[in-house]
Structure 1
């Protein structure tokens, strides 16, 4: 593989990593806000079976 392609791939990977990191930071902040809202109301979060299944699948994929 020539140098130009390698440089391009490194730049592309860096750009994708920054974009993913911004998404992660947004989701973490969103989760924190939702937690605060639920804690302030004192109500339990109610999930339907479909939502529970989706969360379980994603959690299992994370390990």
Structure 2
């Protein structure tokens, strides 16, 4: 899996093993794949929000 920043995976959503459709059903609540602690917390400001991502995709 590629991530848009450097960090350490601290948790994996093992519920996806038995319910992979959670990614489509509830992406922002229960469908996350991993939790990551960023190496540089300031990098968070450079990540795209869902709204910015949608705008980028349309342009």
Shorter-chain-normalised TM-score: which range? Answer: under 0.3
Larger strand proportion of the pair: 2
RCO (CA 8 Å, sep 6+): is it higher in 1 or 2? Answer: 2
State TM-score, norm by structure 2. 0.21
**CA radius of gyration, larger in:** 1
- Indicate the structure with greater helix content: 1
